[in-house]
Structures are given as structure tokens and as C-alpha cells.
Amino acid sequence: MLDQGTGSERPHRLLDVNHISKWYGATCALDAVTLQVASGEVLGVVGENGAGKSTLMRILAGVEKPDAGDLIFNEHSGYWSNPEEARRAGVSILYQEPKIYPKLTVLENLYAGSMVRSRWGLLDWPSMQKAAQVSVRAFGLDPAVIGQRMGSLSIGTQQMVLITRAVHTDCRLLILDEPTAILSHDESQRLFQAIHTLRNKNPDIGIIYISHRLRELMGFVHRAVVLKDGRVAGLLSADELQEDRIVQLMTGRLEVSRFTKPHGKRDHPQDASAGVSLTVDQLTCHPFYEKITFMLRGGQITCLYGLVGSGRSEVALTVFGGLQAQSGTLRINDQKLVVKNPRQAIQQGIAYVPEDRNQQAIFPTLSILYNSISAAEPSLSVHGWVRPAIERQSAQNIQQRFRVKLSNFADSIMTLSGGNQQKIVFGRWMSTHPQILLLDEPTRGVDVEVKEEIHETIRLLAQQGLTILVVTSDLPEALNLADELLVMRQGHLEGRLVGDQMTEERVIRMALGYSAEAEGHVVDH
């Protein structure tokens, strides 16, 4: 454990953030934030969406400049003019929503913007390949991956490559923004091991680790800073890192049980007569999954759980018409359903909240208003015309129903925090009045407060008779929400669990393929 005294003269102090403030118009994103990171320290940063975490990280990475306060990094005072200047100084950041060059190889992605040249000015590919092989091997990846195109890799592997890119250069301060949000359990463990290896090789590196997974911080970080409404709400040592205390600082409540409810959520789940049922029968879509069969019942919440690469997201995308199955059938209330594209799915009363909010759900260059009403726009029109007053009323209904924090509907959707963006996406689809709701990682990258708001909304919709499928790699979320739990592994449906069968150990065993059949939990076809 590091000595965390307060003497500013200590030589191992790497970063000082002194009274940093940042305003966006009338909105104060950061209000006199002060924190320190020592060489060799892992500092956790937690807070609700809109607490100022992302703004602070953008300042540290040179993307933005503060309006007040000062930074001292590695004994040099001042702000970065741009991200490249910060990178050259030794600051590497991996954002929650990473960007890749899908058509370039892993090697080219690793060295994008920092190609190594020989003394004759030519690109030194042998040198880069040798260094890249060492870097990816440290993260548990096959060195052969460096020749593959980034777009051909799974999301989890892409994330591991981007983490490798962040640290294979001369990094002094590594900022990780929700690095495990899209990783499987095994990949997360590889990440932690890689960070441990990195710190052993470079004991002076400082790490800022942002996570909404409170238990992930415990035993991993030396200290944690809790942000709330742009201010530092508390600074906790490793010994003080208790879930109760963190949630209390984040939300002002000590009711941790509110966020960790056991399964058996609703006292009276509805039966199939409460709404439409959807039957998936022997559905096959190579190379993602094969012979998938299950039924979604009106008024119930079905969770589809699996590790990265299990095919869980692709099943939901097929139901929505984004992928085409080679065989098998879909039926709504025993009537055959044909969905060749998402437009047909929407016409059949199916709504889909996708896994990747930035790439698949929002229109980043357009306003909050347009992002709110885009899915329901046809139903808002009269003879092909939509009155602005009707559009605004629809957007305001979403804002009020989902308690979205915003300043002006004309602002870009990118001015909102990730949690508020997710609320807009959720509200957009609910405004189409669907009968079947497909939710792929609905709480990915949101804080505990927003997560529980979304969970409560899902439960309420089920009580109203909606047919709901929640696709998730978050096991606590699955156990918390599910009336029935389906487990996928490597493109196959391993089993169906209900009631007391839904235990963490049993689900993990099935997801890993350990004796699921022997326990008698294989889905009845």
C-alpha cells in the first residue's frame, strides 16, 4: 500500500489537480475539483452519470481545457494543447466507448499516429511487429492477432487490443474509463493480471480507474475519489472502500439493498395472457448461433445471459431483423413472423435497444429533440407533416417519464452524460408503444442510480403486460431482473433456469459449459 500522506513536496507525486472548474454555458460540470495521483498508485474514480468524471478525464487527456484551476503533471505545470501533446508527455487514455480503425490490422491500430521509422525514413515494420507481439502477449492475446483486421475481432478482443495500445508506449499515467464494461469475466481477469504485470515492470506508472462496478474497485485500487454534481464528495482509503459508504457518497443514501435486490423481483409476474408471446424455434444464424429455441411470455422478464462470443446479442438482433437466420422460425401468438429488416420488426410492434449506444443507438451530430422522437416520427405526423409543438411535447414526455437531466432540447445529444443518453434511447423506443421489447445491455456504462431507475422501469413495463427480453453479460443484473434466465455458450442454448434454480454458481457453470446437462437444466425443446 502506498503512503498517502499530504506532503506536496514528496518526489513520487505524479499528478496534482488543483481546484479545476469547467462550465458549459450555465451548467457547471466541474466545481473546484482537487485530487492527486502518486507514482505507482491506482486511484479509483466513481460517481453518478453527470458527476463530472468524463469531463475531468477529457481535461487530463488534453481534449478540453478547464476554465479555472491548474494541473501539475510529472512536475510540469500547465494544460495540454491537444491530445497528442498529452500522449507525448506520457498520458494514455482508454475511453468507455473506444474508437477503432476496423479496416486496418491490429498492428496498424497499435501504432496509429506513432509509426516507427528506420534511419532511412522508411516504416520499420519488423521492429513494430516484434514490439507488438511482446505487448499483446502480456495481455494474454495470441501474437498472431496483430495481422488480423480490427473489424474482424470480437468486441472483447478489440477492447483488449486498445488497452494494449494505451500501454505499449512510454506511458506514465494510464486512464481507464470503464475498461471491463464490455469484457467477459475471463477477459476482465486477464485485464487485471495485465495491469498487475504492467505495474511490476513499471512501478512508477500511475493509474486512474473509472468504474461503476463498485465491487471491482475493492482490493484493486489504493484510494477512491467519489464525485457528485461536479464536486469531490469524498476520498476513501482502501480500508474505507465499503459499498455502503461509496453509495452513500454518490447518492446521499445508505440503502445499498436497493441496488442489490435478490431475484424474485416482482410478487406477481404476469402470465402469457397478459400480452403477446414470441416463440423462437430452432433458429440458426451461422457463425453466431445454432438451433436456438425458447419462448418469451407476455408480462414476464426473460434474461438471456452469456459471456462474450456466446451469440446472445446476435439472437436479439435477428429477432429485430438486423441479421437473417438461415433456418428456424419466429412466431407471435402462434402466427409466423417474418422480419427481413428492422422496419418490418417495428411495424410488428418490436423495439430494440442495442448494445453499443454510440455506434448503434444515437445520432451524435443531431439534437436531443431529434434523438428523442426519431423512432416515433411516423406516428407523430399528419398527412406527412409533423408540427414542432407535437415533437417537443413527445420529447418532454420522455424527459419527464425517464427523468432526463438536460438544459435544452436543441443541444447535441453528446452534451448529455452516458446515463441520460441511455434514457433518451430507452424513451425513444417506448414512444413507439411496442408489444415486444428487446434490451441488449440496457445498463451498460451507467451508474447505480440510473441502473436501478432502468430496472424499475423494466419491471413496471412487465407488470403492464409487455413481453421483455434482456440480453446481458452482467450476472447480478440477470439474477436481479429475471423471471426466467436463459444461458448461452458458444452459440448454443445451455439451459433455462427459474426461481431458486437461478444461482450465481449454477449460471456460471452453465456459461462455461461445466456439466449443465448433468444438473438437468437443459431447455426443453
What pLDDT, in 10s, does the model give residues 379-436?
Answer: 555 555 556 777 777 788 888 887 888 878 888 888 888 788 888 888 888 888 889 9
CATH number, domain with residue 19 = 3.40.50.300
| 179 and 85 part of one domain | yes
Residue 195: its pLDDT value, please? 78
Q: Is residue 354 part of a domain?
A: no
Query: Which residue, 242, 295, 252, is CA-closest to 271?
Result: 295
Domain tally, the chain: 4
Q: Is residue 476 part of a domain?
A: no
Q: Is residue 98 part of a domain?
A: no
Residue 4: its pLDDT value, please? 38
| 109 and 165 part of one domain | yes
Q: How far is CA 76 from CA 26, 273, 463, 501, in A?
A: 31, 67, 58, 57
Share of the chain above pLDDT 70, in %: 84
| 454 and 325 part of one domain | yes
97 confidence band (pLDDT: 50, 70, 90): low
Residue-range definition of the domain harbouring residue 520: 261-349+434-469+483-525
Side chain identity at residue 493, one-letter code: L
| 124 and 183 part of one domain | no
Looking at residues 311-334, what average pLDDT do you find? 92
Could you say which of 227, 245, 260 is where a domain stops? 260
96 confidence band (pLDDT: 50, 70, 90): low
**Whole-angstrom Cα distance, residue 325 to residue 286?**
8
Could you say which of 260, 281, 297 is where a domain stops? 260
**Whole-angstrom Cα distance, residue 481 to residue 302?**
8
Q: Is residue 230 part of a domain?
A: yes
| 152 and 179 part of one domain | no
| 85 and 11 part of one domain | yes
Strands (DSSP E) found in 333-374: 335-337, 350-353
Query: What is the pTM (predicted TM-score) of this model?
Result: 0.57
Residue 525: its pLDDT value, please? 37
274 confidence band (pLDDT: 50, 70, 90): low
Contact criterion met (CB below 8 Å) for 109 and 101 = yes
Q: Is 447 or 209 the better-scoring residue by pLDDT?
A: 209
Q: How far is CA 175 from CA 94, 235, 297, in A?
A: 6, 18, 43
Looking at residues 84-93, what average pLDDT do you find? 88
| 159 and 213 part of one domain | no
Could you say which of 121, 137, 169 is where a domain stops? 169
Lowest-confidence segment of 233-247, 328-342, 373-387 by average pLDDT: 373-387
Give the number of other CB atoms < 10 A from CB of residue 229. Answer: 14
